[in-house]
Structure 1
């Protein structure tokens, strides 16, 4: 009896997939299917909608234009300020560093709607900053600037976290070697550190742009008008149902894919030189 059980156990052991790659393929394939099936179903639904006609609607064109103006600006702001912060967190060793790391992650863990409410307590029209800006003719809410503030708050942490990971991967001995060759600290960063971490920084820029152009919660709180593509999608869905969101959602999807592919081509071209 015991030998039969032993034989059954041995057979079970032989047939059970134990190779890490096989397990990864099965589990990863299930997750990939979860991504792909809704996409395919959504694209199939687009066949029953007049996509071209809907995209010529002035309110849709205005929303697309708003997103195409604000998201690149938000991404540029995140890059200009986020890359130095990422470098400081990677190479610096200062008091309060852990607190800074937590604060960088705060917009990632706070729900976007709550992030928008937090922003309103600082830049809302009845706050000192918001009232002063409005008196100068530069409203910080319900304006393009308000959209940029909301997008930057939510999206910039992606740039900081990703760029820091890239800086962490750069061997500091290479930087030390550059310093012994007479390069200044700034030249070392420009000629050694940044080129070696460019892939991570580019990935951070892509993630930041995609997050910014798709931002809804904080933007809805801070600047419901002018409408961005995500807020226009929400208004269309509430007013007319699912079919009404298909055209602008496809436009949003196409824009993000073009940006991702463009950055990949750019990085590949840069790497080949």
Structure 2
């Protein structure tokens, strides 16, 4: 066989080998693609089947929330919203709520977060009693809570009388509004923040202590950052609860009127249409606060 023939045979063998390899690769790619697609479809099927019932049940409750709000907002077309907001009594109520609710939330945060940490990490006699006291404002009707406050800060009580003599009345004043809002709303912060601290691994705090950090520095650098989402949620809940508080506020400080108190007065005097403007203002303030906290703190991510 000549050298030319041997070269031609080698070229033909190489071409046949490359052709077989291309066929094998072509057969393998669709198989791998099909297997990946089937696994993806199976995952979607498991996800759908696992969430179908909870999603359906949750949708019923969600509709129960959305429908009344949507129907109420539809009344805006027949109500002079801007004219209602121009009413001086409405503006005074909005101003009072915007001043008192942040103060109540700040007080609840300053004193509630440390209490939540103690309840989460501490073990002491009477702890169950302290937990029950924290929950008490949540289980009693707000009007009853207002009556309880009056027995302590009312004008004719020792505390209330002394405060009034100093020119700082604790009833029928903004101070009274703050007292009522704090009493009713602060437990939301304590309960939520405690849940956040409970979710922080104590070993992380112990590791910080072994690095020479003191207790307060460990709380500031480790515990608070890890529990910040829960604390932020507690702040939001406390603020919106204080903003919407009516029962205890009405008992302790009927005047100056807050937005919920003015809503009640307007409803009795003129019906539903009269409360649409101030109710929209209340919803707008609550929505802005919730959105602002989410943007500043962020929302928990799944890992």
TM-score between the two structures when normalised by the length of structure 2: 0.82
Aligned to 1:58: 88
Residues in 1 aligned to 2:154 and 2:275: alpha-carbon distance in whole angstroms = 30
Residues 155-211 of structure 1 show CA distances to partners (whole Å, capped at 9, x for unaligned) of 000000000000000000000000111111111000000000000000000000000
Residues in 2 aligned to 1:176 and 1:259: alpha-carbon distance in whole angstroms = 35
Alpha-carbon deviation of 1:19? Answer: 4.2
Root-mean-square deviation over aligned CA pairs: 1.4
Residues in 1 aligned to 2:170 and 2:216: alpha-carbon distance in whole angstroms = 35
**Aligned residue pairs: how many?**
254
Instruction: Select which of 244, 254, 267 maps to 1:224.
Output: 254
Residues in 1 aligned to 2:215 and 2:284: alpha-carbon distance in whole angstroms = 41
Residues in 2 aligned to 1:127 and 1:184: alpha-carbon distance in whole angstroms = 43
Alpha-carbon deviation of 1:268? Answer: 2.4
- Asked which structure has the greater RCO (Cα within 8 Å, sep 6+), the reply is 1
Alpha-carbon deviation of 1:134? Answer: 0.6
Instruction: Select which of 64, 75, 83 maps to 2:105.
Output: 75
Aligned to 1:148: 178
Which sections of structure 2, spanning at least 5 residues, go unmatched?
1-47
CA contact (8 A) 2:229 2:298 kept: no
Counterpart mapping for 1:1-273 below 5 A: 19-268=49-298
CA contact (8 A) 2:147 2:251 kept: yes
Which sections of structure 1, spanning at least 5 residues, go unmatched?
1-17
Q: Secondary structure at the match of 2:112?
A: helix
Higher Cα Rg, which structure = 2
